Amino acid sequence: MNIVTSNTGYPRIGENREWKHILEKYWTKKITRVAFELEMKQLRINYLKKQRSKGIELIPIGDFSYYDQVLDTAVMFGLIPERFQSMEEASLEQYFAIARGTDEHVASEMTKWFNTNYHYIVPELQGAAPKLTHNRLLDLFNEAKYELGIKGKPVILGPVTLIALSKGYENSEFKDKVAELTPHYIKAFQELAEAGAEWIQIDEPILVQDIAQPTIEVFQEVYSRFNKELPEVKILLQTYYGSVERYEEVIQLPVDGIGLDFVHDKGSNLEKLRSSGFPSDKLLACGVIDGRSIWKSNLLDKQEQAAKITSYIQPSQLIIQPSCSLLHVPVTTANEKSLPEQLVEALAFADEKLEEVALLSGSLKSPEKKDELRAYSYAISEFHKDTGRVHTDVQRKLSQLNELTATRTSFEVRKEQQKKKWQLPPLPTTTIGSFPQTKEVRAARLKFKKGSLSEADYETFIQEEIQKWVNIQEELQLDVFVHGEFERTDMVEFFGQRLNGMEVTTNGWVQSYGSRCVKPPIIAADISFDQPMTLKETLYAKSLTTKPMKGMLTGPVTILNWSFERDDISLREMLNQLALAIQEEIRQLEANGIEMIQVDEPALREGLPLKENERADYLANATYAFRLATSSVEPTTQIHTHMCYSEFDEIIETIDALDADVISIEASRSHGEIIHTFERYEYQKDIGLGVYDIHSPRIPSKIEMKRNLERALRVLNQEQFWVNPDCGLKTRTTEETIDALKVMVEAAEEVRTSLQVGTSK
C-alpha cells in the first residue's frame, strides 16, 4: 500500500529559540549579514534532516522564514509599500524595514493569522507593481537538493489568499489584483520545475472561510491557468483550520492533490467526502494529526478515522500529514524535565507529531502494528481518566452561575461616580502595563529561577525596578501609573504559574510575531484561584506615588486563547473556570485599595471562529466570561481592558458589551483605520486609541502623535478619550520607552491645551 507521509510546515524558532537569538543579534549589529545568513542556513539544514529522520517523505521547504511567511511572499512578488520602495529591492534591509519600521517610516500593519495566536505583516498593494523579485523558493529547493539530497516540497501562500489578506485596494479590484499576480507565481513555479521540484504546496486557507461565488470563480481561473501553463508541476492545494466551505467546487479544481483538515473541521470534511466523493485522479492529503494541539493523538482513533477516509478513496490516493503547519506548537517534549511525568507522557509537540504521522502511516500499510498504536495511545487514555484533574469546588461554583453574577451598575452612573473619584484631566495619559524587560531584569529572574539569587534579594531587585519606573512616570508626568510587570515573563505564562490546574513548560516556545516568542501554559485540570498573584507588587508601587496605580491582569478569554487548552471539556467551561479565578484576584486587589484595574483581552478576536454561524456562541461566551470576572467591583472601581492587532469593526458590539469603563485599542500600525468603526458605531464608554507603535524601535514625532490624537477626536468626545501607546512596552529599550513616552505626553498636553483654549472661546 503506497501511503505517503508529508509535513505541512515546521517550527522555525528552534528547540532553544536559536532563531530568535540569531535575529536579534543581527538587528543589534552583533553579527554581520554573512554570519546571520550562515547561522540561519544551519538551522534550516538541521530542520530538514530532522524531518527526514522522522520518516517524512514530502518535506516542506519555504516554510522557514526570517520573520513572517506572508511578508516573504509579498516581498518575493514585489508587493512593497510605497514608503519602502526606494530601498534596495528584496534586500534584508527592505524586508526588515517593512516588518519593523525605520526612523523615517512606520512599519506595515500586523494582524492575527486567521484564528491563531500567530500574527502576520499585512501586504500593502497601493502603488505596488507585482513582479518576481527573487525566487527564494528556488534557492531553498536547491539548498536542500544539493546539500542533503532532499527533493523538498516548496510551500508558498497562494495568490488568492495573499490578495485577500492584503490592503490598499477596493473590493471591486480583487479579481484584477489576483490576475496581475498570477503570471509571477507561474514564473516562479516554472523555475522550480526546471530545478526538479515534483510537488508544490500552495496554501489557500481562505477556502475554509465563508466565501462567495465570485471568489470561487477567481480560484477556478487561477488554478486553470496554473494547470495549463505548468503541466510538469504537481500542485497540492492545501487548506487548514477548518472544513472547506465550497467543497464540491474545490475538489474539481485542476490540481493534483488537495489537503483537508480532518481535525478542526468538526466532522464536516469527512461528511462531505462521504456525500460528494473525491476525484480518483487526485491525492488527498489528510490532516488527521492535530497541528495546533500539544496532546498526544489516540492513534487507534486516528487509524479508525483514516479507515473511514479510505472507504471513500483508494489507499494509493492517501497522504498522511498534520492538520496545519506545526508552527503553532513547540518543537519537542524532550526538554520538558520539570512537568509531572504523567503529563509529559500525554504530550506531543512538533517532533512527536511527525512521529505520529509515521506511526499512523506505517499502521495503515501494516495492520498488524495495531498493538504498537495501542501502546502509544495508552498515556493519553490514562491521562483523560485521571479523576484528580477534577476540582469539586470549581464544579460546584460553575453549577451556580447565572446572568445576575455578570452585571454591574449602568455605565452612566459609574462614569459620574468615577469622574468625581479620580479627578483626571482631559485626555489622561497612561501606558498599557509593561515596561522594558532589560537584560538585567531577565538575568535576575534567571538567577532566582536557578537558585543563585535568594527570594528576598530577588524581591528587593523587583522593588528597585518598580521604584525606578514609578519615578520615571512621575518625571514624565503621566496621569495614571502602572508598576511595570518586571516580575512577569509573559502576560499569560505568569498566571499559568499561579493558578491551580495549569502547568508551565520549560521550553514550550512558539512564535507569536517576528522574534517574539511566547510559552503558552498548559490547561491540564480544573482551574482555580490559589492565592493573590499580583497584589504584592501592585501595592508596593501604589505606596510610592499619589497618582492612580492600575492593577494589571490578563483576562479569561486571552488566558484561554493563549494557552494550550484541554481537549476533554468545552471551551465555555474552561472560560468560566478562568473567569472565577480572575474574579477572586480582582476582589483581592479592590479590598486592598487598588480601584483601577486593567483586565487585558488582546486575544478576544483571535478566538473568533472562521465560520460565521459559529461566532455568536463564541462571542456570547467570551463576553459572559469577561463580565463574570469583572462584575463584582464597586461602581467607583474603574475597569480597564486592552486589545490589539485585530479586526475590531466586526466585533465592536461585543467590545461594548464587555462593559469595561475604559478600553485601549491598537490604532497606530493600522494608521487609524479603527477610527472608521467609531464613525458608524456610537461608542459611549472611555477609550484610548494607541497613538504610537511599540513593536517598532522608531521614535515617532510629536506631529505624528498629535495627528493621531486629533484624527480620533474628530470622531470621539474629548471627555471619553485616553492617550496611550498601542501595547505594552516590555520589548522596547529603556531609552526608546522614555523618549517615546515623553513625546506622547507632550503631544497630549498640547492637544489638551488647544482643546481648553477652544472651549474658552
What is the tens place of the pLDDT at every residue in 384-420? 999 999 999 999 999 999 766 789 999 999 999 999 9
Residue type at position 287: G
Alpha-carbon distances, residue 354 vs 3, 333, 360, 671 (angstroms): 15, 13, 10, 41
Mean pLDDT computed over 576-581: 98
The three cell numbers locating residue 370: 495495531
Please say if the pLDDT value at position 648 is more than 80.
no
For residue 645, what pLDDT is reported?
53
Which residue in 462, 432, 515 sits closest to 730, CA to CA?
A: 432
Active site residue 671: no
Mean pLDDT computed over 70-81: 98
Q: Which long-range contacts (CB under 8 A, 24 or more apart) does 235-238 make?
A: 235/199, 235/200, 235/202, 236/153, 236/199, 236/200, 236/201, 236/202, 236/283, 236/285, 237/158, 237/202, 237/204, 238/8, 238/155, 238/201, 238/202, 238/203, 238/204, 238/205, 238/285
Same fold, 4-13+56-80+130-329+339-387 and 411-756: yes
Mean pLDDT computed over 303-316: 95
621 marked ligand binding residue:
no
33 marked ligand binding residue:
no
Q: Which long-range contacts (CB under 8 A, 24 or more apart) does 196-199 make?
A: 196/141, 196/145, 196/151, 197/141, 197/151, 197/152, 197/153, 197/154, 197/233, 198/151, 198/234, 199/58, 199/153, 199/154, 199/234, 199/235, 199/236, 199/256, 199/257
Burial class (CB in 10 A: 0-12, 13-18, 19+), 446: exposed
Q: What's the mean per-residue pLDDT of the chain?
A: 94
Alpha-carbon distances, residue 232 vs 191, 195, 196, 256, 283 (angstroms): 11, 12, 10, 11, 16
For residue 761, what pLDDT is reported?
34
Mean pLDDT computed over 647-661: 87
Mean pLDDT computed over 140-165: 98
For residue 668, what pLDDT is reported?
61
Place of cell 543563585: 452
Mean pLDDT computed over 640-654: 80
The three cell numbers locating residue 559: 488566558
Please say if the pLDDT value at position 496 is more than 60.
yes
Mean pLDDT computed over 51-55: 98
For residue 167, what pLDDT is reported?
95
Mean pLDDT computed over 71-81: 98
Q: Please give the Cα distance from 249 to 279 (Å, whole number).
A: 12
685 marked ligand binding residue:
no
Place of cell 517610516: 105
112 marked ligand binding residue:
yes
Question: Residue 579: left (phi > 0), alpha (psi -120 to 50), or beta?
Answer: alpha
- For the entire predicted model, the pTM comes to 0.91
The three cell numbers locating residue 121: 505583516
82 marked ligand binding residue:
no
Confidence label for 367 from pLDDT (cuts 50, 70 and 90): confident
Exactly one of 184, 483, 640, 695 is catalytic; name it: 695
CATH number for the domain whose boundaries are 4-13+56-80+130-329+339-387 = 3.20.20.210
The three cell numbers locating residue 533: 498573584
Residue type at position 74: A
Please say if the pLDDT value at position 601 is more than 90.
yes
Mean pLDDT computed over 565-587: 97
Confidence label for 1 from pLDDT (cuts 50, 70 and 90): low
727 marked ligand binding residue:
yes
17 marked ligand binding residue:
yes
Confidence label for 611 from pLDDT (cuts 50, 70 and 90): very high
Confidence label for 760 from pLDDT (cuts 50, 70 and 90): very low
Q: C-alpha 365: how far from its chain's center?
A: 37
Please say if the pLDDT value at position 321 is more than 60.
yes
Q: Please give the Cα distance from 640 to 619 (Å, whole number).
A: 19
Per-residue pLDDT tens digits for 692-704: 888 778 898 999 9
CATH number for the domain whose boundaries are 411-756 = 3.20.20.210
Mean pLDDT computed over 538-565: 97
- Locate the domains of the chain by residue range: 4-13+56-80+130-329+339-387, 411-756
Please say if the pLDDT value at position 669 is more than 70.
no
199 marked ligand binding residue:
no
In the beta sheet, which residues pair with residue 283? 257
DSSP letters, 576-605, are: HHHHHHHHHHHHHHHHTT--EEEEE-TTTG
CA dihedral (359, 365, 370, 371) in degrees, to 10, reads -70
| Cβ atoms of residues 404 and 538 within 8 Å | no
Please say if the pLDDT value at position 670 is more than 60.
no
Residue type at position 114: F
For residue 747, what pLDDT is reported?
96
Alpha-carbon distances, residue 10 vs 14, 51, 66, 350, 458 (angstroms): 10, 9, 14, 7, 38
> What's the N-to-C CA distance of the chain in angstroms?
85
Instruction: Calculate what percentage of the chain has a pLDDT beyond 90.
Output: 87
- Classify strands 522-528 and 500-503 as parallel, antiparallel or unpaired: antiparallel
- Classify strands 119-121 and 596-600 as parallel, antiparallel or unpaired: unpaired
For residue 516, what pLDDT is reported?
92
Please say if the pLDDT value at position 758 is more than 80.
no
Half-sphere exposure of 94 (CA within 13 A, CB side): 20
Q: C-alpha 258: how far from its chain's center?
A: 26
For residue 59, what pLDDT is reported?
98
Confidence label for 2 from pLDDT (cuts 50, 70 and 90): confident
For residue 647, what pLDDT is reported?
65
Comparing 62-66, 320-324, 676-680, the range with the smallest average pLDDT is 676-680
Which residue in 431, 516, 475 sits closest to 692, CA to CA?
A: 431
